[in-house]
Amino acid sequence: MDKLQVKFPHRIRDVDPVTNAELLEYFKGERTGFVQVGPEGYFFPHKYKVQAEQYYNFEARPDDVWITTVPRSGTTWTQELVWLLANDLDFEQARERPLTERFPFFEFPLFVHDAVKAELLAENKDNEAAKEFIELISRPGYETLAEQPRNQRRFIKTHFPFSLMPPSVLDKKCKAGNQNKFQCSIIYVARNPKDVAVSYYHLNRLFRTQGYTGDFERYWRYFQQGLNPWLPYYSHVKEAKELSHLSNVLFLNYEDMLLDLRATVNQVGDFLNCTPDAEGLQRLLDHLSIKNFRENKSVNMHQMAAVGILNGGEEGFVRRGGKDNAAKQDDQQEFVSNPNLLKNANDWVQHNIEKFKSMHDKNVH
């Protein structure tokens, strides 16, 4: 990217000083502060304020495949599914190369604060490979992905909502015959917000780049208020739903994947024009089983753990994959153990469902 071509269209404002001070007390990975972006108030660490235009002006390529979600919505599971389908079920390469290398996380460097990076480098001062890895994950995705050879298809993970993704991702610039075709393939995965919140809480505790030290009840309050990266939840999902009719957007539900992964694989295969045969499909389903997935070093952030980015004593990156079916619970334990919090959550979810249904009905009529 030689020069900026598009002015970033959204206002970026600092979180108010009192709230910012409280958040810095509980999220130890950020050391400067937080910002909110655009009319929806999407939440990010301070570094986004400096790099927003560069991310927004990233140049998409016609054969890019993007996965975007609210965090903890089955993103990693979907990444592995998509990469294997699009790469002729190359299980050997999938085992040998970490998913973070095969399917880079576009904006993760926003969350590697300079002070945290310095600490990690100091802790790994005698390990050249570790220091090289820390430098790599600290480089903005708009730089590293732009350097990838054009004859190599790019697979890109992001949690940006559609309004903050590079406009080139949705541009009709790729011509086939006399028809304009969309630039990229985009897969969006949505998940029940209560399950997202529980899983996101544990991730915020696991990653030093987030460094959350509070309890779940406090975290749920931040989640509802959109005071955690890439939130508000319902704004994020609403944007995706509004674009789900586009021919280059596939909207999936995580719960459907849990119920019938075979159908999801076929759906994604049709979308990407790479449907596997019966034998390949069964091998892929076995590979993606939650038990095998949790034991797969290629997808469970072992490189991050090795350099000290993951905190010890917390739940792992790949968790249970869903609700506690053995206990026949409709909700995860963090809510079940706190009836008042569960009622609060259910009321909040119902309010938002009714709100967005009303907005949809108005748009239809």
Domain harbouring 174, CATH code: 3.40.50.300
Q: Which domain holds residue 67?
A: 56-201+230-322
304 and 331 belong to one structural domain: no
Average pLDDT over residues 9-34: 98
Name residue, tokens 């694989």: 265
266 and 354 belong to one structural domain: no
Give the global pTM: 0.92
363 and 252 belong to one structural domain: no
Residue 124 or 356, more confident: 124
340 and 274 belong to one structural domain: no
Q: Is residue 21 part of a domain?
A: no
The closest of 159, 121, 156, 152 to 138, measured between CA atoms, is 121
Amino acid 228 reads: N
Compute the C-alpha angle 110/112/114, nearest 5°.
Answer: 110
Q: Is residue 182 part of a domain?
A: yes
Q: Is residue 4 part of a domain?
A: no
- pLDDT at residue 326, as a whole number: 46
**Predicted confidence (pLDDT) at residue 17 exceeds the cutoff of 70:** yes
Q: Is residue 215 part of a domain?
A: no
165 and 273 belong to one structural domain: yes
Omega cis (within 30) before 229:
no
139 and 234 belong to one structural domain: yes
Question: Per the structure, how many domains does the chain have?
Answer: 2
101 and 123 belong to one structural domain: yes
Q: Dihedrals φ, ψ of 45, to 5°?
A: -70, 165
- pLDDT at residue 104, as a whole number: 96
248 and 355 belong to one structural domain: no
Asked whether 130 and 307 are in contact (CB, 8 A), the reply is yes
350 and 234 belong to one structural domain: no
245 and 290 belong to one structural domain: yes
The closest of 144, 121, 147, 119 to 132, measured between CA atoms, is 121
144 and 84 belong to one structural domain: yes
- pLDDT at residue 3, as a whole number: 55
258 and 360 belong to one structural domain: no
